Structure 1
Amino acid sequence: MTVTATSVGEPEQLEPLAAPAPRGAHRVRRLVPAAAASLSGVLLYVSFPPRTLWWLALPAFAVLGWTLRGRSWKGGLGLGYLFGLGFLLPLLVWTGVEVGSGPWLALVAVEAIFVALVGAGIALVSRLPGWPVWAAALWIAGEAARARAPFDGFPWGKIAFGQADGVFLPLAAVGGTPVLGFAVVLCGFGLYEIMRLAVEGRRTGGVLRRGAAVVAALSVVVPVLGAVAARSLVSDKAENGTATVALVQGNVPRSGLAFNAQRRAVLDYHARETERLAAKVKAGKVPRPDLVLWPENSSDIDPFANADAATVIQRAAKAIGVPVSVGGVVERGGKLYNEQILWDPNKGPVDTYDKRQVQPFGEYLPLRSLLGAINANWTSMVRQDFSRGQKPGVFTMADAKVGLVTCYEAAFDWTVRTTVTDGAQLISVPSNNATFDRSEMTYQQLAMSRIRAVEHSRTVTVPVTSGVSAIIMPDGKITQRTGMFVADSLVQKVPLRSSETPATRLGTLPETVLVLVAIGGLGWALASAARGRRDRGAGDVALEEPEVTEPAR
């Protein structure tokens, strides 16, 4: 039995005490949100390539919305971290393919912190009117932060990169990866809000809060209608004629970190496949290309310092008879560069592009002295840091302007955009994925290139040392692709385009607007929480004040 508070002078009212729930049931109830957050993160991972289950991102965010709505910021922080682990642990497992689980787990642990902070923010704004909008903007703000820090950022796992096969894809042409990702997350949170309001309506006899219902419906309808309207921005029409491109995939002697142990073999393989392509052209089996694209690391022997490497490349270029873009490792002025070299069949090397966004712990080693002091073996894999290029790379090959975005750079919005604004009519993403064997990394990166094709309305070519090499149309569709760890070549006539999409013209503006929306929502939520605490405090003081009576006159 329990005693309830009564008015003075009234008899105490006794109510039966409900039987306490079993202690185990309480534990289970506490574990349900944690399990749901983790599993919804895994669901989001399953929506990513190589699978084409893009739509699973919507229920993933719907479940995340259920776990976070109405919770304290501390609860949101923990649940957000679990969601991040569920998503990023399987997504980034390829980072430990050759170097062990240590770097993989460390990377995930750091990246999940950003997701945790977003979870805390979503928990706070979930009490606001129209919370799906604020919550989706917060997610994009978290992606913006991840793309910039630490060590110049790691944007792998942006929601947009999982939508290459989805209905929202045309939105990439509107505002790039931030707008595409915002639409997906907003739609997911909107679906949860619709379901929540429907349940609430049944409990209240069909009474719905009109404003909340309208916002929830618009959170789903507007992204879908926006994607349908944005299809008009996607076009494969040639604006500056066409070019017949050839991609050469020479293959490597072995996968993993040892692929580079036989650098001369890698160069020979690509030269041999180019000469084989030249023989096919001569026999009339394939069209004569206007330009040939080799992958990153196709000549890790510096052709400027090694005459034998230059001779091999020159012979291959002479055989095919058109300009060749060669991926090389070049030392200049005591500095090391990951470089694309434009090789003319008659003049030799005539232009270069140095990779601007170099990969931390892969191409340069942050905190080298600290890591070396802990374990000298950790610094042996990157003996010399690569230096950064300073300018976008656009090669004039035949009559085409080819923009260069080397491998890891495809994950960064700014590197691709500056190449297009510098005049690229088509984009090449030369890559070397041999280090990561047959992992999902290759397919995740290929999806990024598909998003970039739509974002900037350009043909994107992806020549890779060991596969998958591919040709992607401006609408994001792959028209040709190779297998993995085979020698092969692709030849195709592709459109050249020079018009700019809204995403190209707007640059970082859509992302900036969404970040400001996130800050505004967070500020509103914090101010509301502070006002609520003040009001409760004032009420408590009023209850504690003694009754004041006027003195007798």
Structure 2
Amino acid sequence: MGVISRLPVRLALALVGGLCLWLSFPDHDLALMAVVGVALIGIAMWDVTARVGALLGLVAGLGCFVPTLSWSGIFVGTFPWMALAVTESLYVAAMGAVLAAVQRPLLRRGHPLPAALLVPVLWVLQEWVRGTLPYGGFPWARIAFSQADTPFARWAAVGGAPLITLAVALVAVPLVLVVVTRRPPWVALGLAVAATAGAFVVPVPTSGEASAQVGLVQGNVPRAGLDFNAERRKVLENHVVGTERLAERHDDLDLVIWPENSSDIDPLRNPDAAAQVQRALEAAGVPVIVGAILDEPAPAVSNASLYYRPGGGEPERYVKQHPVPFAEYVPHRDFYRLFSSKVDLVRVGFAKGDRNAAFTVPGRDGDFSAVPTICFEVAYDGLMRSAVKDAEAKGDPSLLVVQTNNATFGYTAESTQQYAISRIRAIEHGRSVAHVSTVGVSGFVNPDGSTTPTTELFTAAQPVDDVVLRSGLTLSDRLGPWVEWACGLGLLVAVGWRLRHRATGSVGGEPRTDPSPTEQTEEATTGA
């Protein structure tokens, strides 16, 4: 590999690769830079020790996550932002260490193609673990979520977000091989072509069994920041007024949807808040889904989606099942207070819901289900899949509803990053998505991932669309996390191969005791 073998060059490649990944996400929207990023990181990690692989992974992760997650520190300061970015980067560091450990024996026996294919395999597994552990994980900034405007997004219908990540990383493999082997990687090139061309033949729906006229109310807030709802009554009033304006312009609505935190005054316990919701319900004349904070179960509170029907009665509810650690509750508070007093900004913890919901809406073409998820829940594969399958069991066509509040992230890319995730979910589950925020961006996503124009940040708006309603399950819904399991099996095979040949003490059929030139360089440079 020549000059690339030098550690400073490898570090530079890893950093630039991480920055390329950042550029692939909204608001830069240079989606294909993800291929370049994976390729550069794969080249940097080629034929290194586990220790150096971990270092390179950490640098690549920081290059990606520090700028991509910058929105997390807008109002809470640098420490929480850096803590989150470093934590996410540690998963990439672990990936680098494992990649080095299982890749190097393959290279010693002259198998560069299997060694290179470990890059996409481990990338999928890294994202899987990162989105699972600890505290349920944080699956933000996955490669798949940068690909909503590319053909790769269509793979979501077959294998969800993990298959998109696998396909993008697979396209990077021939780029890695052509640099490190300086020979045409024909087999890898064929796989990359298949991953790209195959996306075009994946069927994605554009129509359904029915449609519904749905209105979204983006009420806006008095101010951005952590105290966005300091004037809770004003925020509720904004959404009531928005509903009245919506009703004045449209008399054919089937459903109105408010965002998360649209009523932070508990409308089940506060008579004034209940009266305001009733005012909106009477103006709309159709069911309204309200995002509310409920003062239950004491001493905790609940982040809920309430489904109100005209005519009164107790609203149906969905309670958020995945509250965000350190934002909606603080695990092990005493321990984390040692690092930052900011944990005490979360004074009351949010309880976890224990079930999905599918609200039955009497639409003009017959009943349909509105399936609510709240805020960051849209990023969790298993939760979304479970909700869709439960709704499908009811037998009605359905609409996915994503209620969110982006006021705490200011004028950043967090809103557009989240909207891109909703677009991937639409393709993955073959459903339209109604995505509504207190402050934007809000809009409608069609089952093929295409979208209506979105609203602007920190404005009041009431978009309306005739949304497609569909039933049925995609291959992704039916097969579940098969991509992760397949990649896990691939890694186990590589580990087994390594252990077998390590036990024989041979490399290339002969005992090997001297370090390679690359190892000598690394040892001299890093002490690895």
TM-score > 0.5, shorter chain as reference = yes
Aligned to 1:449: 422
1:320 counterpart letter in structure 2: A
| Aligned twin of 1:395 | 359
Amino acid at match of 1:165: D
* CA distance 1:336–1:82, change in 2 (3 Å): same
- 1:71 matched to 2:48: yes
Equivalent of 2:295, from 322, 331, 335?
331
CA gap 1:74/1:265 in 2 versus in 1, 3 angstroms: same
Are the structure 2 counterparts of residues 524 and 328 from structure 1 closer, same or farther at C-alpha, using a change threshold of 3 Å?
same
Q: Give the aligned residue type for 1:417.
A: R
Residues 1:268 and 2:237 aligned together? yes
How do 1:51-450 and structure 2 match up within 5 A? 51-127=28-104, 128=106, 129=111, 130-197=114-181, 199-200=182-183, 213-230=185-202, 232=203, 234-239=204-209, 241-281=210-250, 288-334=252-298, 335-372=300-337, 377-398=341-362, 399-423=367-391, 425-450=398-423
Residue by residue over 1:395-452, the C-alpha shift from the partner in whole angstroms, topping out at 9 and shown as x without a partner, is: 1122220111111100100111111101161101000000000111111101000000
SS at match of 2:328: coil
Structure 2 unaligned spans of 5+: 393-397, 515-528
CA distance in 2, matches of 1:194, 1:29: 18
Give distance in 2, aligned partners of 1:355 and 1:92: 23
Larger radius of gyration: 1
CA distance in 1: counterparts of 2:127 and 2:268, whole angstroms: 40
Alignment-mate amino acid for residue 258 of structure 2: W
Q: By how many angstroms is 1:44 displaced? A: 1.0
Shift of residue 166 of structure 1?
Answer: 1.1
For the structure 1 residues 454 and 538, does the alpha-carbon distance in structure 2 shift closer, same or farther, using more than 3 Å as the test? closer
**SS of residue matched to 1:154:** coil
RMSD: 2.1
**What is the CA deviation profile of residues 324-361 of structure 1, one whole-angstrom value per residue up to 9, with x for unaligned ones?**
00000002241311000001121244300000011001
- Asked whether 1:493 is paired with 2:463, we answer no
Name the CA shift for 1:64/1:486 in 2 (closer, same or farther; >3 Å): same
> Match of 1:325, as an amino acid?
I
Name the structure 2 match of 1:18: none
Change (3 A) 1:120 1:371: closer
Taking the aligned partners of 1:432 and 1:136, their CA distance within structure 2 comes to 34
Q: Secondary structure at the match of 1:474?
A: coil
- Check conservation: 1:132, 1:186, Cα contact below 8 A: no
Question: What TM-score, normalized to structure 1?
Answer: 0.86
Maintained 8 Å contact 2:221/2:228: yes
Structure 1 unaligned residues grouped into runs of 5+: 1-24, 201-207, 283-287, 541-553
In 2, the alpha carbon distance for the partners of 1:538 and 1:114 equals 32
**2: CA distance between counterparts of 1:378 and 1:165?**
37
Structure 2 Cα separation of the partners of residues 53 and 370 of structure 1: 40
Letter of the 1:37 counterpart: A
- Which one of the candidate residues 415, 432, 436 is aligned to 1:459? 432
Amino acid at match of 1:183: A
CA distance in structure 2 between the aligned counterparts of 1:247 and 1:459, rounded to whole angstroms? 14
Identity %: 39
Is the partner of 1:242 in helix, strand or coil? strand
d(CA) in 2 for partners of 1:482 and 1:539?
64
- Secondary structure of 1:260's counterpart equals coil
Secondary structure of residue in 1 paired with 2:295: strand
How many residue pairs get aligned? The number is: 495
